[in-house]
Every structure is written in structure tokens, then in C-alpha cells.
Structure 1
Amino acid sequence: MDPLVVDVVHFYPRENAQPHNTVKFEVINDENPTITIVRRGQPFNGVVRFTRPFDENEDVVQLVFNLGDKPLMDTQGSMILKRDVIPDKHSWCAKILDIQGDTVSFEVSTPVTLPVGCWTLRLVTSLKSSHAREVYDYDQDLYILFNPWNPDDQTYMEDVGLLQEYVLNDVGKVWVGPIKTTRGKPWFYGQFDSAVLPAVMFMLDRADIPFHHRGDPVKVSRVISRIVNSNDDAGVLVGRWDGDYDDGTAPSEWTGSVEILAQYLETQQVVPYGQCWVFAGVVTTVCRALGIPSRVVSNLVSAHDANSSLTVDKYYTENMEELDFDPNNPQGADSIWNYHVWNDVWMARPDLPPGYGGWQAVDATPQETSSGMYQCGPAPLEAIKQGVIGFNYDVEFMLASVNADLMRWRKDPESESGYSMVDTNNYHIGRMVLTKKPFVFDPLGDEDRQDITAEYKHREGTASERLALMNGVRYSERAKRYYAVAANSSSDVTFKLRDIDTVPIGKEFRVIVDIDNMSDEGRNIKAALTATSVFYNGVKADVVKKIEGKVFVGPQKHEQVSILVQPDDYLPKLVEYCNMKISAMAIVDETKQSWADDDDFQVLKPDISIKFNEDLIIGQPATAVLSFVNPLERTLTGCEFRVTSSGVAGRTLRLAAAPAAPHALLSADLPVLPNKLGMINFIATFKSAELKDINGSATVEVFEG
């Protein structure tokens, strides 16, 4: 008698996918699926057919699962098929369920700490009575992923209902724009697309993360924060913030992650270009594909603390002109981003004291290095909130992002440090931290916006918030020095920069500073007002208009200084996303009291309307009309829409549109062939030579015929 020869092995991809919550992966829904996707720590079923009947007394069948090219203890599972095995959450086993002649049904159990990835399987058959053996290599992909549904998995979420949002939802929103006009930009995560898991495996290999580390979500999420940017290791996206994207795709044009990951996998080259929300969108896709719960987080008015002082420092000359460098930190100046986007990932933290599990911040936008590489996190939200900066990883940087104080310094030859403090603002940074509300998607408004500021910091101005920040300061020698200096000059004149809320594109606006002299003597004041176009990361683009002058304010009198900005002043100088900064500075001759303030706002653009003229029926062609009105006094040329949808064949469609005259309606027809029932989402962006970063989305139901 010879050892068994394997005829076929089959893992029931569809049947296993149901209990494993992997049924949404596209490859599982192929006509004859050949790829199996399951989650660790949970049994899955298979069957093997041999070329002769299986003899329980004589035949031995060994299953050997391997991950990577040099399997070790943690990356190999070897077991003999047996009838009476009791599964254990820390080990592999294979249990015989049924024998029908030459066919054996079995169940495989995997350890709940198993490294995730694409595993291979080898079957070795032999006889109890001889040394002869046969080897069979199973040639299909078998993915084993994190299992946040399993209470023993490190990614387990107690409120299992939320996993519908944080692992299984393939569409979301990213809040972008300055605080007054921030809005949700729809994003198609597409973690179940057939290109995504192979792209994720390629990323992890390129990041050189050892296979035996791939079971630890702390290590995996830290590596994801590094490999989604291309700064250290030919990762996925090249970051660029200067408005010059001709040799790639402008960040504002992307509608989702799939196109980016598919291009990365196909070309094995870095993909140009990303900015913070693009990095964050890709991180959520990668994490959700692997089974790590993830959400995209937007911090409105975000600090980039370049020198670990837990402050954002702005420096001015003696005449209150702003310096564009930091005299105390030659490597780089602190900056304030209108908004910054990163991710929260969910996991237990067995590497930290109890109480620091749950949401952890990771940031893939390359800003500062951590342990020598452009990576950031996972930083427990609880540690950020309490100012406990000693814990892994990068808590100090994240604490400054949401809660640094803004300090202004003026050159002062009489001061010991060479600079005296103008003022300090505790409320400026981290105005609001937003994410998408679970289970809601509002294509037209902000009903799906969730304010999670309280998860990142205590309410501004409360004793707990000051204590948390000072707790961080206490652990940092450098921060102590900055906080030791406080302003004590006389201030009998008050200044107020009026807020500008919204300016529709093509309309004028006025910058106004109110000045009140509280003293009984007249005051001579030098003032300067500037309107500048800025990139969203705080980098200045062009001065749009500036005035400087002297104003006399009589005792107990009120005056105002203002500047009118016309569309012709700002339109040629606007940069992407149309963010503007207004800055005001003043110095009182008699008392040397100085003051400075600035404010950000956005010139608003129209949204794309997406309309269907008839009901959508599965498998029947239909048309969607994309349109908006040109808001400018000039013709739009080189017009193109880009559309992604969850229920239409093909990943992303591009549609050229005819030039649009000033204030004319611009529209394009989108052919649609719905391929799944229920609610499907459409996400659109538009660009032209004159106007970019126009967005729109719609949710529509597909019916049976």
C-alpha cells in the first residue's frame, strides 16, 4: 500500500466567509471563488479528496501552514488530521469532521495571536507502517486576518455593532477646510476591492516588517503609518504641498484609495501625490482590509510643534513684522495647519499599563521623524488627553497637535532671551476634532459629523485641560522654559480682528480691526493688515493685499482700520482649496504695547450635483447628470469630472466636459450600469485650468427589475 495521493483540496471560500465576516471581499463573490479569506482564532472548514479511500488505521495526513519564505515557530502551523482534538485559542489544530470513502471533511483552528497575511498550505501524506511519503502543495491564496469580533483578539471591540462602521463600511467622509467652512469630503475606501489585499501584502513586504511581528496590531499599525508615505522606504504615496502636480495626480482629484493602491501594486512605484487626508484615507483602507478597526480624524487648527516645546511660537521684529523662521530652531519653524487629518485605530495595549487600550492615533503624513523614520503612533488617546508623554508612541507630538498654546514673541534687545512675549493664546489650537458618525452617510450635508474633541482633550480652559498640558510641560525641559516667560506689559488699548465667515468665490470681502483706547491719553498706533493666500498646511503662497499706516486714537475713543479685497486682487493668487489668511499687527508708540492676531477662512466654491432621471434597476443602463454653475467671471477650460462608485463596474471613470462660459451651467452625462442591489454611493471631483477641488456625492437606491 502506498501513501495517499491528494487529488483536490477545497476551502469553501463562500461558506467560510459568512461566520468570518469576510463576505464583502469581491474575490469571495466571483462565480467560482479560488481565494479564501478568514479571520484568526476562529475555525474554518475544508475538504480533501484522495485518489483512494482514506484508511484511519494506516494513513497519516499532516497539514503544514506557512507564512513567508523562512517559516519559524510563529509563522508555521503543523498538525496531523485527527478525530478527537480539542481546539485551543493558542494553537493550531485540524479536526476530522467526516470521512466518505476517498473524501475527508475537516475543520482548522488557528491561534488568536497568529501573524496575519497570505498563508500557504502543504499536505504531507504517509503510512504508519513505512517511511514513504507524498507531498502536495495547495496552489490557491488563503488570507488570515485580524479578528476584532473575537474577545481574545488584541483588536477586539466590545461594542461589536461598531465593527459594521470601522471594519466593514467601505465609504466614508473626511472633514477638510478651515474651522468656519469645514465640510465632509466623501472618500471611497474600497477595502474589499480585489486589488487591495494583494497591495497591502506588497506594502508590508516592502516595509520589511518581520513575518512574526505581523500578528501584533501595535507593530503593524506603526509600520502602516510609515509605509503609506514614501519618505523612508518607497512607500505608497509621495507627499506634495506646493500646488505643482503636473507629473502626477493632484491630491484633490482622488476620490478614494483603490486607484492609489492598485497603481502602487501594478507599477511597484510610489504614487504621486498625497496630502494628509489622502494618506489617512489609504491608512483606513489598509487597516479595515486587515481587520484593524479604523477611523479618519480631522483636527481643525492643528499645531506642528517642530521643537518639542508643546508651544507653537511665532516671532516678530521690533516693528511687529512677522519673521518666517524660528530664531531658536534652525531646523524648522513651528507651523499651524488649517486642519490636519490622521487616523485612530482600535486595539488593546498589552505593552502599556492598564487603561491605555481603545483608540490610538496614527499619522502617516510625513512631518517629523520618530525613532529615525517618518512614522507616528500608535499613541493612546487617553495618554494624549492626560498629557502622559512618556508612553509609546509619539504622545508628545500628538498632544501638541491638539493642545499646544500659541505664543507670539517680539524681538526685544532688553530681554534676556532677546525676545519678549506679545501674548499667549490657549484656545487657538485643536478647536475641534471630527470624524464620521457611525452608520450615517449624508452626501449633501453634515448630518454624519461626529465631534470627538472630548476624546482627545478636556474642554478648553477647564482645570483638567490646563493640567493635562502642564503635565506634558513638566516632563519636558524645553517646554518649561517657554512656559516660564509670561507677558506683563501694560495694555490699555484693546484690538479685535473681526471674523470673516464665508466669502463665495468671485465676491469681495473686507478685513477690519477694531481699536479701543481705554486710557485717558491719546495713543499713536502703527498698524499693518495683510491678506495672503495660503496652502492648508500653513505655508504662505502670495500676498494678496497689504496696508500699513499710522492711526491716532483719542482718549476713551474707538477707531477701526480696514482693507477691501476685490475678486481681481485674490483670484489670480488663490492656491488649491482657496484658503486665505488675514493677519493684523499693531504697536502702540507711547507704551510699546504690541498685538498680533490672524484668522483663516476659505473662499467657497459650489458643489457638484449628481441627479438621476429614472429609478436605477440592477443590470439596466441608466444615466446620471453631474452639474454645477461656473461661479467665475471667466470661462472654464480643460474640464474633467472623476467619479467613483461602489455599485458600478470599473473603479474610477473620467469624463471630459465642454468649456463653460462665465456663470453658465456646466454638466456631463455619466453612463451607469448598477451591479448590486440596495444603497450605492457616488463620489465625484472636478478640475479645470481655472477652478479645481470641486466635490460632490450622492447616495441612491438600486431596485430589482
Structure 2
Amino acid sequence: MEPLQVDVVHFYPKENAEPHNTLKFEAVNDENPTTTIVRRGQPFNGVVRFTRPYDDNDDIVQLVFTLGDKPSMDTQGSMYLKYDSVPDIHSWSAKLLDVQENTLSFVVSTPVTLPVGCWTLRVVTRQKSSPARQIYDFEQDIYILFNPWNPDDQTYMEDKSLLQEYVENDVGKVWVGPIKTTRGKPWFYGQFDAVVLPACMFMLDRADIPFHQRGDPVKMTRTISRIVNSNDDAGVLVGRWDGEYEDGTAPSEWTGSVEILAQYLETQQEVPYGQCWVFAGVVTTVCRALGIPSRVVSNLVSAHDANSSLTVDKYYTETMEELEFDPNNPQGADSIWNYHVWNDVWMARPDLPPGYGGWQAIDATPQETSSGMYQCGPAPLEAIKQGVIGVGHDVEFMLASVNADLMRWRQDPDAETGYSMVDTNNYHIGRMILTKKPFVFDPLGDEDRQDIIGEYKHREGSASERMALMNGVRYSERAKRYYAVTSSLTNDLTFKLRDIDTVSIGNEFRVTVDIDNTSSEGRNIKAALTATSVFYNGVRADIVKKVEGKIFVGPNQHEEISVLVQAEEYLPKLVEYCNMKISAMAIVDETKQSWADDDDFQILKPNILIKFNEDLIIGQPSTIVLSLVNPLERTLTGCEFRVTSSGIAGRTLRLAAADVAPRETLITELPVQPNKLGKINFVATFKSTELKDINGAASAEVFEG
């Protein structure tokens, strides 16, 4: 007799998906699914049918699973189908369950440390009585993913209910905007879309991470932080912050990650353009698809410490004009971003001393290189919180992002270093650190906002917070020098820049400084007030208005200086996201006391309203109504909506809309046909020539017909 010849191999994609928590993947829900998606360290069932009956005494059946093209001990599993096979969490095994003539059913167990990816299977058959072999290559994809449900997996999360949010939820929010007007921007992660796992495999191959390292979440998340930006290795997204996006998609127009990953996979080219929350949205999609629990994190008022001093330094001339560069760091100045978005990923850290497992920060936005490449993390939140900058990776950079002190320096010919300190602000950096609250989605409001600042740092100003920062300073010679300088000038005047809370687009606003003279002598003050439009990463765009003048404040008197900014002055100079910076500086003639402060706020824009005129019935055409009020005294032209949902065919729909007269309402109807039962989410963006970065979201229930 010849060796057994394989007729069919089948892995029950849908039946295996249920216990493996992979049932949401579109690929296993096809009419006749050909892709199997399972999790490591957990058995899955299969069946093989041969062209002749199986003879237990003479036939040998071997299964060989392989990852990548150069199999090694870690990337190949080879086992014989046997009745007495015993599963073990550290090795491959295949147990024969049942034989029906020519059909064998079996169960495969995989090691819990297995590299994740798309595995191939070869079935080798021979007979004890002859060396002749028969080889059958199974043509279908078998994805084996991380298993955060399994206590032996490094990504295991003890509170398994949270995995519904951090692995299985395919829609979320990213908090964007300055501290006073930050709002949740809805984002469609879409990690179960058929295009996502193939795109992840393409990314990992392009990043050149060796196959045997793909089971280690530390190495995998560090690689993901590098390959989602295009800086080193033709990764997914090109970052751009200057407002010039004509040859690509403006970052504010994206509604989710699927379109980006689909374009990357299809063109095999970097996708233009991303900014921090777009990078973070794609990272979440990739991590959740692979089975690594992940969340998007927004740090409001985020420091970029360019010279590892654990401070953010601003420099002024003798007359308190702000310098645009850092005289002590020719490579680049420190900067403060209105907000910055990165990711937390969850894992144990067997590579570090105990206590550093749990959430780890990774950042895919290219700011500084780490080990020669634009990558950042995973940095344990616990190490960031305690200021332990000696553990890997990039804890020092993340500590500065959330907790650096802001120091202002003025050119001073009498000072030893050439600069004297104006003031230091311990409270400015890292005001709130926001993520989406598990199990809640609030399309229009902020009920789903969770402040996790306590996981990143101790309460501002508390002894523990100062100690954690000083702990970091202790390890850095440069930081020690910065923190050793304290100002010894006479400060008998107090200055306060008034907060600007909310300004709707088209309305005026006023910049005001209150001055109190607590001394018994009058003081002459030179002061300057400036309103500037800025990009969200702190880069200035255009001065909208600047006033300079002198003011006398009598002994024990209060004075104020202010400037009014009209809509027609700022509208032509606004840049994307409509962020404004107001700056004030002053110098006292008699005592040379100097002061400076600035504040960021955002000119607010309307939201898109999404309504449903009737119940949504599966498979039946329906319409959704999008509406938007034009807040300007001018017509909006070149209007376009983008709508994304997991429950409609075509994923992302684009829709041109008519021009909108000043202060009028734009109403557009969009035909849709729901293809999923239950709750579905819609995420929309709107742009026009005059007004961009408008968002909206809604949830709806789809019923049986």
C-alpha cells in the first residue's frame, strides 16, 4: 500500500473561534470560512480525511506547523498524531480523538510562549513498513494570536471583564485639544476587519522583527511603536504637522484605522498623513488584533524634553522677548504640546524586577530616537510614577512628558551661566491623562472620559510627586544642574494671566493680565501681550495681535492690562484645530524682576449631528441624516463628509455636500444598508475649504426584519 493521501484538512474556524475569543473576526464569519484564528496556549480542534481508511498499526501521520520561511526550534512545531499525547503549556502536541474509517479528528495544543503570526501546516504521512513519504501542504491561513485570557500568557489580564474593552471593543475615543476644551474624538479601530491581520503581518515583516521574537510582547510592542511611523523603515504613516496635506489625507479627516491599514497593505507604501492620535489609533488596532490589551492615552499639556534635563526650558532676552531656540541645546528646543497621545499596553515584565508589570507606555509618534530608531517604550507606568529611570525602556522621556518642571530663563550678563531664572512652575506639565472609560461609549458627550493621572504620577505638589521627580533628577547629571539654580531676585509684584475658557468660532476674546504691587513704592513696568495661532505640538503659526506698552503701578495698587482680539483678526490666521496661545511678559524697571506666562485655548467648532429617521433593519436600505450649523459669517464651500461604521457595507463612505450660507444649517442624507445585528456605531468627519476638523458620532440598534 501507498502512504495515506490527504483528501481534506479542516479546522472548524467558527467552532474554534468561540472558546478562543476570536469570533468577532470577519474572516471566521464568512459563509465558508477558510481562515482559522486561534490563541496560543489553548487547544483547538481539526479533522483530516484521507483517500483510504487509516490503519492504526501501520500508518504514521505527522503535523508540521511553521512560521516564516526559515524554521527554527521556536518557529516550528512538529508532532505525531497519537491517542496518548499529553498537552503541556510549553510544547506542541496533537492528540488523536477519534477515527472513522478514513477520517481522523484531533486536537492541537500550542506552547503559551509561541510566536504569534500566520502559521502554515504540512501533513506528512508514511508507513512503518516503508520509508516512502507523502506530503500535503494546507493552503489556508492559520493565525495564532496572544492569549490575554490565559493565566500563563505574558499578556494575561486578571480582570478578564476588561478584555471586552481593551481587546474586543472596536470603537473608542481619543481625547484631543487643549486642557480647557479637550473633547473625545470618536475613532473606529476596526481590528476585526478582514484586512487588518494581513496588514499586521506585512508591517511586522517590513519591520524585520525576527520570527522567534514575535511571542515576546515587550519586543513586539517596541517594534509596533516603530513601524506605525514611517521614519526608519517605510512604516505605516507619514507624520506631518504643518497644515500642508494636499497630496494625502489630512490627519483630521480620518475616522478610523481600517482605511489606513487597507491603503498601506494595498499600495505597500507609507500612507500620508498622521499625527499623534492617528498613530495611537492605529497602534490600538494592531495591538488589539494581535491580542495585546491596549488603550489610547492623552496627556494634556505634554512636555517634549529634548535634552534630558527633566525640565522644559524657555528662554527670554534681557527685555523679556521670547527666544525661538534653546541656547544650551543646539540640537533642538524643548517644546510643550497642547496635548500628546500615545498608548498603554498590558503585560507582565519578566525582564524587569518584580512590580513593573501591568500597563506600559509606548509611543509611535516620532519625537526622539531610542537606541538609534524612532521607537518608544514599553515603559512601565509604575517606573514613570516612582521616577525609576534605570529600567527599560524610555522611562526618562515619559517621566519628563508627564512631570517635567517648566523653567523660564532670562539673559543676564551678571549671572555665571549667562542666564538667570525667571520662575519655575511645578504644576504646568501633565495636567490630566485621559483614556476611555471601559464599557461606556458616549457619542456626543464626555461620560466615557477617565482620568488616569494617578497611574502616571503622584498628586501634583505632594511630597511623593516631588520625590519621584527628584529621584529621576538624581540619576541625571544634566538635570541636577538645572534644578540647582534658584532665583534670588526681589519679587514684590505679582502678575496673573486670566484664563480664557471658551470662545466659539466667530466670536471675539480678550487677553488680560492682573498686576498687584505689594511694595510701598511705585513701579514702572514694561509689558507685552501676544495672541498667536499655534499647531497642537506647540509650533507657532502666526502672530494674530501683539501690544507692547509701559504701565505705572502705585504702591499697594492693582492694575490690569488687556487687549481685545476680534474674529476678523484671528480667522484668516487660524491653523488646523484652531489652537491659540496667549503669552504675556513683563519686566520691572526698578528691581529687574521679570515674569512670563502663557496659556492655550481652542476656538470651538460645532459638532456633526447624526440622526436616524426610522429603525434600522438588517439588509434593508435606510437613510441617516447628517446635519451641521455653519458658525461663520461666510459661505462654506467644497464640503465633504466621511462616515465609517462596522455595520454597513463599504466601511467608509465619502459624500460631497452643497455649499452652506453663513449661519445656515447643512442637512445631507446618506443611504445605508446595515449588515450586522445589534448595536453599531457611526463615526463622521466633515471638512470644507473654510472650516475643517469637525467630528460627530452616533450609536444605533439594528433589528431583525
TM-score range, shorter-chain basis? over 0.9
Q: Which residue of 2 aligns with 1:582?
A: 582
Q: State the Cα distance separating 1:18 from its structure 2 match.
A: 0.2
Q: Which residue of 1 aligns with 2:266?
A: 266
Q: Which residue of 1 aligns with 2:321?
A: 321
Q: State the Cα distance separating 1:670 from its structure 2 match.
A: 1.0
Q: Which residue of 1 aligns with 2:635?
A: 635
SS of the residue corresponding to residue 344 of structure 1 reads: strand
Q: Which residue of 1 aligns with 2:305?
A: 305
Q: Which residue of 1 aligns with 2:361?
A: 361
Q: State the Cα distance separating 1:216 from its structure 2 match.
A: 0.1
Q: Report 1:377-392 matches (<5 A).
A: 377-392=377-392
SS of the residue corresponding to residue 18 of structure 2 reads: helix
Say whether 1:192 aligns with 2:192.
yes
Q: Which residue of 2 aligns with 1:477?
A: 477
SS of the residue corresponding to residue 455 of structure 1 reads: helix
Distance 1:145 1:474 in 2: 41
1:499-549 deviation digits (Å, cap 9, x = unpaired): 000000000000000011111111000000000000000000000000000
Q: State the Cα distance separating 1:145 from its structure 2 match.
A: 0.3
Distance 1:651 1:261 in 2: 13
Amino acid in structure 2 at the alignment position of 1:252: S
SS of the residue corresponding to residue 224 of structure 2 reads: helix
Distance 2:283 2:498 in 1: 38
SS of the residue corresponding to residue 406 of structure 1 reads: strand
Distance 1:652 1:457 in 2: 39
Amino acid in structure 2 at the alignment position of 1:650: G
RMSD: 0.4
Amino acid in structure 2 at the alignment position of 1:538: G
1:660-682 deviation digits (Å, cap 9, x = unpaired): 01001112111111111111100
Q: Report 1:240-251 matches (<5 A).
A: 240-251=240-251
Q: State the Cα distance separating 1:297 from its structure 2 match.
A: 0.2
Q: Report 1:416-431 matches (<5 A).
A: 416-431=416-431
Q: Report 1:67-82 matches (<5 A).
A: 67-82=67-82
Q: State the Cα distance separating 1:409 from its structure 2 match.
A: 0.1
Q: State the Cα distance separating 1:623 from its structure 2 match.
A: 0.6
Q: Which residue of 1 aligns with 2:541?
A: 541
Q: Which residue of 1 aligns with 2:468?
A: 468
Distance 2:615 2:11 in 1: 39
Distance 1:600 1:191 in 2: 35
SS of the residue corresponding to residue 298 of structure 1 reads: strand
Q: State the Cα distance separating 1:398 from its structure 2 match.
A: 0.1
Say whether 1:213 aligns with 2:207.
no
Q: State the Cα distance separating 1:629 from its structure 2 match.
A: 0.7
Q: State the Cα distance separating 1:558 from its structure 2 match.
A: 0.9
Q: Percent identity of the aligned residues?
A: 85
Q: State the Cα distance separating 1:101 from its structure 2 match.
A: 0.1
Distance 1:555 1:41 in 2: 76
1:609-668 deviation digits (Å, cap 9, x = unpaired): 001111111111111110111000100000000000111111100000000010011121
Q: Which structure 1 residue ranges, 5 or more long, are not aligned?
A: none
Q: State the Cα distance separating 1:437 from its structure 2 match.
A: 0.3
SS of the residue corresponding to residue 278 of structure 2 reads: helix
Q: Which residue of 2 aligns with 1:408?
A: 408
SS of the residue corresponding to residue 98 of structure 1 reads: strand
Q: Which residue of 2 aligns with 1:64?
A: 64
Amino acid in structure 2 at the alignment position of 1:502: T
SS of the residue corresponding to residue 561 of structure 2 reads: strand
Distance 1:612 1:82 in 2: 58
Q: Which residue of 2 aligns with 1:617?
A: 617
Q: State the Cα distance separating 1:366 from its structure 2 match.
A: 0.1
Q: State the Cα distance separating 1:702 from its structure 2 match.
A: 1.0
Amino acid in structure 2 at the alignment position of 1:306: A
Q: Which residue of 1 aligns with 2:151?
A: 151
Q: State the Cα distance separating 1:129 from its structure 2 match.
A: 1.1
Q: Which residue of 2 aligns with 1:600?
A: 600
Q: State the Cα distance separating 1:190 from its structure 2 match.
A: 0.1
SS of the residue corresponding to residue 32 of structure 1 reads: coil
Q: Paired residues, what number?
A: 705
Q: Which residue of 1 aligns with 2:112?
A: 112
Amino acid in structure 2 at the alignment position of 1:320: M
Say whether 1:559 aligns with 2:568.
no
Distance 1:664 1:59 in 2: 79
Amino acid in structure 1 at the alignment position of 2:375: Q
1:281-335 deviation digits (Å, cap 9, x = unpaired): 0000000000000000000000000000000000000000000000000000000
Distance 1:667 1:640 in 2: 12
Distance 1:131 1:615 in 2: 66
Q: Which residue of 2 aligns with 1:181?
A: 181
SS of the residue corresponding to residue 130 of structure 2 reads: coil
Q: Report 1:80-159 matches (<5 A).
A: 80-159=80-159
Q: Which residue of 1 aligns with 2:452?
A: 452
Q: Which structure 2 residue ranges, 5 or more long, are not aligned?
A: none
Say whether 1:679 aligns with 2:687.
no
Q: State the Cα distance separating 1:230 from its structure 2 match.
A: 0.2
Amino acid in structure 2 at the alignment position of 1:274: G
Amino acid in structure 1 at the alignment position of 2:482: Y
Say whether 1:662 aligns with 2:666.
no
Amino acid in structure 2 at the alignment position of 1:133: R
Amino acid in structure 1 at the alignment position of 2:398: M
SS of the residue corresponding to residue 368 of structure 1 reads: coil
Q: State the Cα distance separating 1:570 from its structure 2 match.
A: 0.1
Deviating above 2 A after TM superposition, structure 1's stretches of 4 or more consecutive aligned residues are none
Q: State the Cα distance separating 1:368 from its structure 2 match.
A: 0.1
Distance 1:65 1:359 in 2: 32
